[in-house]
Structures are given as C-alpha cells and as structure tokens.
Structure 1
C-alpha cells in the first residue's frame, strides 16, 4: 500500500474531517499537542478520570510506532480489551507489549473496536486490525494501541474497518453502507504455500474429521499427481455434468447416457445422478478391523457409502487407480457380506439402487451421470471416526468401479436416505452433522457428527423441504437474494416453482435464469469501475484485476424460509481463473424448471448444520474456527 503526504488544503474531505485544537506541549514549540478526553472499547467509554490525561498532556507523533498512554489509562484499556478477547489463547509478551495472543490455526478473529475522544467532540474510531503487531513469523500477535496496518485471514470483519480519506469504500462504510468486501488483489494469485493450517474444531471432539481440499497441501493423497489440481475448464466441465445429472434425476428424465453396463451386461440405472469427478473435499475414515484409513469424498446428495475393494474383479483390473492401498476385506476380522435374502438387500430396490445376487451374497450397483459406476458386494463393516467406532455399518465393497474418481478410495454418503451414514448412526448422533469448508486449500475445515461437537450459538435454521420426489437431497426454500445491501426484485415463484437443494458435491451455485439475471445485473452495476473481460465456460461475468492493489466487491446474501439470512463469504462470490480473469461465481440454469443448487464455493467458511431429526438446515458464519 501507499498513503499520501499532501501540502495545502486541496483535496481535504469536508464530510469526514473533524478537528481538535492543537494544545501547548509544555515548553516545546515543535510538537503537536492534543487533549485526550476519553477512550472507548466496543463503544463503551472507559472510566478514566480526566486528570489522568490532562496532567501529563499528549502529543501526536508520526515517528513513534506504538501509542503510549498514562499508566492508569493503559491499565483500563488493557483490562477491557482482555475481557473482550477472553475466548482466545494468551501468549507471552515481548516488551513493551504485555498483552499477546496465539492465533495458530485460527482462521478469523473478532477484535474489539477502540476509539479515542479528543477535545472539541472529535472521536477517532480505531481501525480494528491496525491494533495488531506481528512479533515473529509464527501467528503470535500482540494487541496494544493502533500501530501497524497488517492484514490477515481475519480481514473478513470489515464492518470494523475504517480507511479515513483513502478510498471510496471508506465513504460507503462511513455512510452506513458496509455492503462491500475489500480484497487484496494479491489473493487472486496462485498460492505457493506448501504448509497446512489445521482447523482446531476438528481436533476438539472425537466425532470430528478434518475436511481437506483434495488437491491442496493438506490432502492425505501423497503423490504430486494426485494433489495437482485439474485445470479450471475440467473442474467446471465436470461440475456441469454433475449439475445436469442432478437435474435429470429430479426431473425423472433419465436418458440412456445415465445408464452404465457391467461387464456381465447388467444395466445399472443412475441412482444419484451425480459425478464424483468434481468433488472437492475429502475426509479420512477408518474402515475394518484393524482399521484401514481411506480418503473418501463426502456427499450430501448420496446415501450409500462405498469404497474400492480387492480383488477388483476376476482379473484384478476392474478398479480405477487409487493412491492409498485398496481395502482388502479378507484382512479385516469385522467384515461380512450381506445375505441376498436379508431385508437390507431387498431395500436396495426400494431405495432406487440396482440389486442382484451372487450365490447367497447381495450385490449393489450405483451409476453416476458421467458414466462412472461402482458395483460390488453390499457388506457390513466397522467404521472409525477419529475415536468413535461403529459396528455393522452397511456399505458397498466395490470390486468393479470405473470413472472420474481421481485417486480417491470412494464416497461417504451423507444424504437423507436409510443407507446414509447419518441415518445408520442416528442412535448416537441423532441424525445431526455439520461441516465447514475451508476458505482455501491451505486450510482444513471439519465434518462433525452429532451436536456435542460445538454447534455455533449463532446458527440460524431453515426447514428442510422436499426436493421433488427425492429422499436423498436436502431441499431448501430460497425466498430472496441481496446484493450490496439491496434486496433484488425477484418474484417468489421464480424460486418456488423449481425448488432448491444444498449440495456439497456441486461446485458453483446454480440459480433459476431470472434470479441469476437479476443477480448478475446488480453485481455488474456495483462493479462498473472495473475492467470487464471475456467469460469462460459457465461464467459470463468476469473482470481483469491486473495492476490493482485492492478490489471492492458487493456483498451477496441469500434469504431462506424462516427468516434465515446467509451472507456468502468473499471467497464464495468470485471464482479466480487468474488475476486477469476473475468471474462472478454463480451460474444460471438452462430452464426455469431446473432445481436451484446452493453449491460448495458459496458454502466456504460457513458452518452448515444438517439436523435430520429436526427437519432443518442451519447456517452460522466463521464455522471453521
């Protein structure tokens, strides 16, 4: 950043400037004296006698780094500050700083505002994060008084930011229109980090798993090939296939392309109408006794959990390449096949799966919208989540698996059907689970089962609606969209006619055509100062941010039935292809009747709570902390 040093009165902000008299500083004619009359922390004025300031006096000095206060004034400030920061881990001080905190693994931080009152009624609201001074390379931060302007992942608390006289964004916030995110253009550049910051929430409970981006440094997939991200065109192409197959399933228009053939010429009708090729996020689950840790994509639109199994067909070649050793059921003492005559096997058909028998053993089949499939034995096995162990979980032991699964072992089904993992563990977790998807691949999120893992007090719920005739998807009722604090004029029937679902496997949120058109128009109006550029793939609204230091983008929020408003994180509004092509991260459906889908890019950093027992889905900000 640069600031400015200006001589003369030209360019002074008449609307923002407030003056306080220059006071005499003892016997000095060089220094600029000020009369401090009070300090406030989070708008609460501290009880400091006026003589504490008036006796020594005060100056403003551009050459002093750290603000110095009279002992009694500093003690009052420190006490109030520590009370507001009681939820964070204290750390050792480094003179002259004595109030420090360790933010290792913390993704965002709430810092109290500090204001100084001067003679004449002038109040300066302290910028929240210039109250932080980094002491070393580790994320150990000391809070004192406004000093250095450093920015970190907690920058999202922009409602506390003030840039006096620097940008038009400050004018917006000063006038009460805190409806924009200010983003460093450098954040649009590819990350060169090879480190991984773990979510503390996933380590705090035995029913939590670390959620990682499958292509990032946090991934357990060991090889560079497995972790190398596919190009953006592939990601968006696979996502479009995924979305089309969801639409096909929910519209009951399954075409022959959504049927796949086993080598024995057994037709498998698509069950989930989805593709795992675009699945971004994986968890590590222990399967068997002794447990075999495997990386699984988790999917709220699928029910049956499955993994690849040895011997991979008669000739051992019927599995796709997998990074981790393929699960061998013969090495597990707790594995058993499900009998073909059992009610569980019979229920495959009623749940929409392919069912067959091999001798007395039950055979399952699942087809996906990109012609990927898994076929194998329906079995029972022990599953281990962190330290929670569950016996006799029904799952698919796939010996004939083909498709775009890109090195992962299989899938963890989190849908609403009876075969899903939440349904099978409902006696323990009451059919409740939550997750937070990290802001970037350098961080982890969490997948937590049950309500004892620390659901946020700020969770707001919306009822689960019926997604057409599907028992797997979690339906939502969207009732409005807001851009830059202004609700868009979209008739309610635009959303209610096709309905909507939330899906962890869809990357980009899809909206009804009229809703997307309204969102796009409002977004473009608020981005008119930036250079537009050509679209790409499913994106038609893109910008070139080359040469810019900061970018201000309008906030976007969704309103759901029940009065629940969800503000999309700044990382969920734009999709970065490169710094010269940054696009609005939403897309329109092809038809008015296609179901809307709230995708995983828009879910980043939000704690999403699925309460199957209560028939509701909840949302809370800053969910990965």
Structure 2
C-alpha cells in the first residue's frame, strides 16, 4: 500500500508565499515615502568665541581655476548675546530684501528706471542683521580683504581712504593713493556712462578731479558712494589687471567686519564679466552648513568639473533669457515634490524662479506654497504645532526628539533636472531646544511675483553658473574647502 503524500510542505510553502506578499506590499507602501533623517542635536546654538574669525580666508590655484574658501558670514561676527533676537532679525531683513528685489523686478519689467535707487537689492540692509551669508577673501592692490558674495549684485565695491563716513571693518581700509596700480575712471568714459545698468544710477562727474562717482542707495536708507576706479585684482594668485570697482568713500550699514561686496551678477561691470577672458564666464560654489562656524565651502572661478567633489552627476538647466531681467539668474522651476509626491499648482508656470546667494529663505508663489504646505503637513504628522516665527508660518515642537524623519523636498527644473534639498535646508530652528522648528519656505504676496531660490535651500550643493552657455548646473556635494 502506497504512503499518503504529506501536506505539511505544501502548507509551509503557502505560508511563505503569503508572508512574501505581505513584505512586498509593505515595501510598496514605503516606496511612496521619500524621507531623510534629520539629527536635531546638530542644530543646537552654541556660544560664539569672543573674537571674530573673519580672516584669514584661504585660496589656491588648481590648473586654470581660482578656488576661494567660502564661509558663512557668522564667522566674522563677535559673540551672539541673544540668539532668538538674531534669528528673528535675519528673517526680518531677509523679507525686506525680497520686497526690494520684487520692486526692482517690477520696475525693470515695466521699463521704469526712475527711483531705482530707492528699491535696489538691500545689500547693506541685509548685513545690518548679518544675513548676506557667505564671504570670501580677495586681494586688491596687494591688500587682502574679506568681501560678501552676492549673485544679485553687479558692482563690486570696497571701503576706501580717505573715508568721509565708513562702518567698522576688520581689515585696514584700502588706500588707493598708496597703490601705484590704482587709476581713477574719468567721467567722460563709456564705463561711467554705462554705470546706470549696473547700479540703477547714472555716473556723476566730480569737478576736482574730474572722476566718475557712483551712488548706490538701498531701500532701507543704507548706501555706498564713492568713485569708480581700476586696480589689480588677485584671485588665488591669478592677476586681473584694470579691474573696475567702486571705491567707497561714504558707506552706511553694518557689514560685520567685511570690507565690501563681490558682485557676481551678469552686467558688464560684474566680476564674472570682467574676468571672462580668464575664467570663461563660469563660476560655481558650494555653500557650507550654517550650523557649524568652522564649516567652509568653496567658490571656484573657471570651468573644470574634475575639480569638484560632487557625489551625484551635474545636471544642467537653461537660464531664462529675459532682456528686462538680464542681470539676474532666472530658471524655469517646473514642479516640486514632497516625499515623492509631485505637486500641481498654477504658480509653476509664472515667469520663472530667480536663484540668489543673498536671499536666505526660498519664496514661492502663494498657490505653490499652499499646495506644498498642505502636502508637507500631511506627511510630517504626529508632532505638536508651535507658533509661527516671523515670515515662517509652519512650525513644530520637536523637543524631546533626538532625530526626526522628514519628507524629501525635490525641486524639478526644465530639462528633467532634479535637485534634492539637503536635510539641513528643510527646517529653520527658531529655538535651540527644538521647541520651535519651522519649515524653511515662505509665500510671496501674489502669484504675479517671481519665485526666489534662497541660499538656505542651496546648502551642500555644487551650483555651477555658466554664463557663456546660459545654463546652470546642480550636483550634491558635501561642502569643504580642502
């Protein structure tokens, strides 16, 4: 008599099949959650050292590139007595910069030039509250000095002797009379006549001597005034002869020890345009974390991607060419995804998005921001809410958590370019104990305003500006100077 076939192996197999199906289903559910882990203790505010650490900044030359160490501007400051006030003031001034920038864009789009001095990008107002965040060192006329990097500015300027009215800076003031290579620019020159394109104001002739005077006034009442000059500029020992800059004799604003501003805009007077023969109109930066004063990144002038330390391939999107906004860097932001969920909002089709190294918090059209906020709250749930903080209206109490899992924010640009926002760029820590942590994005006043990609969301990215080919590239990179 034959043996009965045992049923146990069949039951065992069916059990394993069901178990695998459950695992697969669970994994499918998780694949919709595109998250990053944020360690909260990294964002605790520390006591600053009593001595500012603005200088020296490092620089080096590799191949045909100039590489400048880039630091957050807080490394130039003294001790912070009240972190809560400082963080609030940063956002207040950042909001003022955005309003002034939107006013400038509206006037440029309408063809108006009058009153531009009243609505220029508030470089000095930003520094009043220490928010134009990143600095590098350069050498002008044989003197090393620290300057603030700004991609939305078109005239590089520094404070000069004799100074009628100057703010306090760490380096000695530049003395053009002591430099044999310095030359004043005459008022009848084409450079002086074209000054309005870069500053919004016509060059003014002084009588004795007949030199070209510039005047840049900002919306908060701060300003820089002086004469246009030419001087030898050295960037990582690479000489730029006859560099045109503003020699500021009267400057109002608190710049936290920096000597002036390095202009990386697109006008003929910007550093990018003036060094095009050396660097091909290409520069890139990697903005370091703002949580660690010792952190540094790099500003690289020139086009050789083998120098970069990116961990993902560089992908390029087109710059939007708008003759009325020709000095700005504008991109076509086509969508944003939160945790893998693509957002749909009418604001994505309006006028492009400006990328700016001087604006801190990214601004989005109201329709886009409302959609983003709703999806973020849907995915980041279970944490008690906290009061809004200045321009930030979506805040949480994360105290008591060592780390949290946050939805990945991914920016989508024309040409299928995807940019992941670093985990450190998702939340703004209003309080060091994590009791008030806010989504670091804000809404514009209307969908007619142009969006702005701020530096808070550009951290730990290699951002490549190629003005010759009118493209801008992104890649992930852990920022460091070395």
What's the TM-score once normalised by structure 1's chain length? 0.65
Partner Cα separation in structure 1 for residue 388 and residue 427 of structure 2: 13
Tell me the alpha carbon deviations over residues 260-307 of structure 1, each in whole angstroms, 9 at most, x when there is no partner. Answer: 9xxxxxx9554446544220111111111xx21111111000110000
| Residues 58 and 137, structure 2, Cα contact 8 Å, conserved in 1 | no
Tell me how far apart the structure 2 counterparts of residues 581 and 226 of structure 1 sit (CA, whole Å).
Answer: 19
Q: Give distance in 1, aligned partners of 2:170 and 2:27.
A: 50
Alpha-carbon distance in structure 2 between the residues aligned to 1:449 and 1:443: 20
User: 2:168·2:254 contact (CA, 8 Å) conserved in 1?
Assistant: no
* Structure-2 separation of matches of 1:226 and 1:377: 37
Match of 2:349 in 1: 496
Residue 181 of structure 1 and its aligned partner are, at CA, apart by 1.1
The Cα of 1:331 is off from its aligned counterpart by: 1.8
Distance 2:85 2:245 in 1: 29
How far apart, in 1, do the equivalents of 2:41 and 2:120 lie? 43
Question: How much has 1:354 moved relative to structure 2?
Answer: 3.2
Distance 1:342 1:236, change over 3 A: same
How far apart are the structure 2 equivalents of 1:545 and 1:580?
6
Instruction: Report how far residue 496 of structure 1 moved.
Output: 2.7
Distance 1:599 1:562 in 2: 21
In the alignment, does 2:198 pair up with 1:354? no
2 CA distance for matches of 1:239 and 1:338?
A: 34
- Check if 1:293 corresponds to 2:144: yes
1:386-397 to 2 correspondences below 5 Å: 386-397=236-247
Q: What is the CA-CA distance between 1:536 and the residue it aligns to?
A: 1.0
Alpha carbons of structure 1 residues 468 and 189: separation in structure 2 relative to 1, 3 Å: farther
Q: Does 1:461 align with 2:320?
A: no
Q: Which residue in the other structure is 2:408 paired with? A: 555
CA distance in 2, matches of 1:527, 1:328: 55
CA RMSD between the two structures: 3.0
Offset at 1:452?
2.9
Describe how 1:62-141 pairs up with structure 2 within 5 A. Answer: none
1:445 to 274, 289, 297: 297
Normalised by the length of structure 2, the TM-score is 0.83
Cα shift at 1:482: 0.3
Shift of 1:607: 0.4
Say if 2:190 is the partner of 1:340.
no
Pick closer, same or farther for the CA change 1:572–1:173 going to 2, 3 Å.
Answer: farther
- Give 1:326's match in structure 2, choosing from 173, 186, 193: 173
Partner of 1:237: 92
Residue 455 of structure 2 aligns to a residue whose secondary structure is: coil
1:414 corresponds in structure 2 to 264
- Name the SS of the counterpart of 2:412 in structure 1: strand
Contact 1:179 1:554 in 2 (8 A): yes
Cα distance between partner residues in 2 of 1:468 and 1:585: 31
- Rounded to whole Å, the distance in 1 between the matches of 2:468 and 2:428 is 35
The CA deviation string for residues 420-479 of structure 1, in whole angstroms up to 9 with x for no partner, is 001000001000000010023330011000013624571111111135712211011110
Match of 1:176 among 17, 21, 31: 31
Task: State the SS of the aligned residue for 1:552.
Answer: strand
Q: Which has the higher contact order (CA 8 A, sep 6+)?
A: 2
320-329 vs 580-589, which moves further: 320-329
Change in 2 beyond 3 A, CA 1:559/1:235: same
How many Å separate the matches in 2 of 1:226 and 1:429? 42
- Does residue 252 of structure 1 match 2:104? no
Aligned to 2:160: 309
Query: How many residue pairs are counted as aligned between the two chains?
Result: 434
Q: Which moved more, 1:227-236 or 1:480-489?
A: 227-236
2:376 touches 2:407 (CA, 8 Å); kept in 1? yes
Q: Any idea what the Cα deviations from partners look like across 1:495-542, whole Å, max 9, x if unmatched?
A: 232421000000000000010001111111111111111111001100
Alignment of 1:402 onto 2:255: no
1:191 deviates by: 3.9
CA–CA distance in 1 between the matches of 2:82 and 2:273? 32
Are 2:473 and 1:618 equivalent residues in the alignment? Answer: yes
Contact 2:364 2:442 in 1 (8 A): yes
SS at structure 1 position matched to 2:328: strand
Q: Report the Cα distance in structure 2 between the residues aligned to 1:364 and 1:172, rounded to whole angstroms.
A: 63
Aligned residue among 403, 427, 445 for 2:277: 427
Kept in 2: contact 1:271–1:353 (CA 8 A): no
Is structure 2 residue 68 aligned with structure 1 residue 209?
Answer: yes
- Structure 2 gaps of 5+ residues are 1-15
Partner of 1:601: 456
The SS at the match of 2:327 is strand
The answer (yes or no) to whether the contact 1:474–1:502 under 8 Å persists in 2 is yes
User: Does structure 2 conserve the Cα–Cα contact (< 8 Å) formed by 1:215 and 1:228?
Assistant: no
